[in-house]
Amino acid sequence: MRIRHLENDTIINVSQLLKAPVGTERYFTVHLDRLVLDSDLEARDLTASVRLLRTSNGILATGQLHVTAHQTCVRCLTEFDGRYSETFEAEFWPTVDILTGLPLPPPPDEDIFTIDKNHHLDLQEMLRQYAILAIPLYPVCGPQCPGPESLWQREEEVIDARLAVLQSLLDERA
């Protein structure tokens, strides 16, 4: 089985695969140093294994990705690097007919990605969406996390600080 590697690249020319019979497969590995996921979220060291399968409508991409994200633990507020995984499955439909070059109607579903008129399938947007899914909204630094106790202590400190301000105001009025 031949596996092609994409280094800091997410674009695959699928013209040959689109001409191949339904059921034909291609295998890829991808590594990205960085991938911007959102305005305030970035993944590092993204790796993915990708299988592209020719279907009657286009190409089905399946596989698994791994990402590292720098996060703040919701329980102890420590900053840490978490490594996360997610499996993916996404359809890519051509926008032009591979044989005639004529434009094709857009996919009926907005979850379906498109292959551009030059037969370039770009994995980036799909990887971005699945990387966001992989990264937990409420990350915990790990099994050794000191836990909510320290968060509670921090809350107490904040309350103590507020009470101190209130006390000083009351003292001024007295």
- Minimum CB distance to Zn ion, residue 143 (Å): 10
Collapsing DSSP states into helix, strand and coil, what is residue 96?
strand
Which residues between 72 and 131 bind Zn ion (CB under 5 A)?
A: 73, 75-76
Minimum CB separation of residue 69 from Zn ion in Å reads 15
Helix, strand, coil % over all residues of the chain, rounded to 5: 25, 45, 35
- Interaction residues for Zn ion, span 143-162 (CB under 5 A): 145
Site for Zn ion contains 141 (CB under 5 A): yes
Residues 6+ apart with CB under 8 A from 148: 75
Closest approach, Cβ 29 to Zn ion, in A, equals: 32
Our finding on whether 20 is near Zn ion (CB under 5 A) is no
* Nearer Cβ to Zn ion (106/147): 147
Tell how strand 41-54 and strand 11-13 pair up: unpaired
- Whole-number Å distance between alpha carbons of 40 and 38: 5
Contact residues for Zn ion, defined by CB under 5 A: 73, 75-76, 141, 145
